[in-house]
Amino acid sequence: MKTLFENNAKYLNTAGTNQPVSVPVYQLPGLSELITSNFRGPTLLIMDQEVQGSPCIARLKDLLDEMPFVYTVASGEHAKSIDGFAKLTQELRQIFEAKRSPPRTVVAVGGGTLINVANAAMAQLTGRINFLGEEICQPIEYDHYLVLPSTVLAVADVALGSKGNINSHEKKHAFRSYFEPSAIMLDPKILESLSVVEIKRGLVECLKHAILQDDSYGIGAPQLRDVLSMLRRPDPPSDLAFALASLTMYAKAAVLGRDTFEKSWKGGLLLSYGHLHAHAWESSSGFQVSHGDAVLFGMLVDLKLNGDPELYKLILSVVPFTPLKDAVFDHTPSRQGLASAYAQETKPFYLDANGAYKILKVTQKGDYQAARLDAQSAEPSKAVSIHAMLEAVDAVVADIRSEIESELNRSWWNRLRHPDYLAYMDI
């Protein structure tokens, strides 16, 4: 069967090997052919609460020969806590060991958090890693492991890459593993039930790749103007969001094909652009701030520290149309909390030899198109201190508040001419 990425296979990531190859990606109606051709024996669905009653799950169950085992994971960041992860793996192991006919196919259906924790659970249950320090058990046996992302963010950023991330009590993604799915399944209709807020938060990951990899043709990466336009819309259509998220998978694949495990700047600093500050804000807020809001904020901080001022202003201009406009007031970043979170960051691609933090340089949109990556050998970053980052955070918070106030003033003027204008601001 032809896959979405067949012509781009040399750039795709397969964890566990230094020779990246294609991960099959199927979209309905090809999903039915995939299932009838490959599924043998019982199936286990690991899903988050948000998708339990979705039509996609009903269609998936209809395609199976027998009713699947279903394990539901509570939505939210707690699912990635070390305690939540221990409970998950224990109960999944019981499913495999207690059944006379244990599952042969495992399907993870949900958003980014669910896929992250399912990848980590499969790595733990098959004996590839041991996050829990538990006594070594017999690895589970299975035929296929598939992921079906249910959010824009999961399509754009999580389904491809194989990472399984678990939080400690103090630090986001303190433990990381990789577990490659047999295939990725896409169903655009599963996104139709998403709220505007969730669509816009997912589009932030598309924005990241548009900033870094916009190729002006919309072939190998999303175009910046398209993503910004969607973020400004009061009701961005889920089908267009799905198209941008799918295109973002290509852009991510181009990076992973050059740095599969994100060990150099090409994988680490590119794919984690804005995430140093995002994870620090999420952790210091007690995970009250959503990942999408935090990443948008973090990219503004990175641009403030080592980016083009005009590009910074352009990205800042969309904040009043995004959920970040509320998050920055509801959970204003704390200097003390951020400083503590920064100090716990240990990923090697963030740190230089002197312990300073590396911030990727961005001089214009598309600085890191796939065609340009191979030509760049020197790392285009600069080292900054925690103090400098905290100063940049304060400046970004002030700029966001000023931009929101300016947009409100503009909206009152536009209201006189266009009464529906305030819908853009959800006022």
Give me the mean pLDDT over the 96-109 stretch: 86
Contact criterion met (CB below 8 Å) for 402 and 247: no
Sign of CA dihedral 292, 294, 297, 298: negative
Residue 105 structural domain: 6-193
Distance CA 217, CA 104 (A): 42
CA triplet 38, 42, 46: central angle to 5 degrees? Answer: 95
Give domain status of residue 257, yes or no. no
Q: Are residues 288 and 368 both part of a single domain?
A: yes
Convert the pLDDT of each residue in 303-357 to its tens digit: 999 999 999 999 999 999 999 999 999 999 999 999 999 998 888 899 998 989 9
pLDDT attached to residue 315 = 98
Domain final residue pick, 193, 225, 254: 193
Domain final residue pick, 170, 193, 216: 193
Q: Are residues 313 and 187 both part of a single domain?
A: no
pLDDT attached to residue 17 = 34
Q: Are residues 39 and 154 both part of a single domain?
A: yes
Q: What pLDDT band is residue 415 in, cutting at 50, 70 and 90?
A: low
Residue 101 structure tokens? 């006919």
Give domain status of residue 231, yes or no. no
Give domain status of residue 218, yes or no. no
CATH of the domain at 152: 3.40.50.1970
pLDDT attached to residue 36 = 63
Convert the pLDDT of each residue in 51-82 to its tens digit: 887 777 787 777 777 778 899 998 877 888 88
CATH of the domain at 297: 1.20.1090
DSSP string, 255-298: HHTT-TT--STTTHHHHTTTHHHHHHHHHHTTS-S-HHHHHHHH
Residue 353 CB coordination number (10 Å) = 6
Q: Are residues 280 and 180 both part of a single domain?
A: no
164 forms beta bridges with: 177
176 forms beta bridges with: 165
Domain count, the chain: 2
pLDDT attached to residue 3 = 41
Lowest mean pLDDT segment, chosen from 22-36, 184-198, 371-385, 389-403: 22-36
The rounded mean pLDDT for the chain is: 84
- Residue 362 DSSP SS3: strand
SS3 content of the chain, % helix, strand, coil (to 5): 50, 10, 35
pLDDT higher than threshold 70 for residue 19: no
Convert the pLDDT of each residue in 168-206 to its tens digit: 777 777 788 888 898 888 888 889 889 999 999 999 999
Determine the distance from the C-alpha atom of residue 277 to the mean position of all C-alpha atoms in its chain, rounded to a whole number.
15
Q: Are residues 88 and 183 both part of a single domain?
A: yes
pLDDT attached to residue 14 = 36
pLDDT attached to residue 245 = 95
- Residue 309 DSSP SS3: helix
Give me the mean pLDDT over the 211-225 stretch: 83
Give domain status of residue 222, yes or no. no
Residue 405 structure tokens? 């106030």
Residue 64 structure tokens? 């199976």
Is the pTM for the entire model greater than 0.75? yes
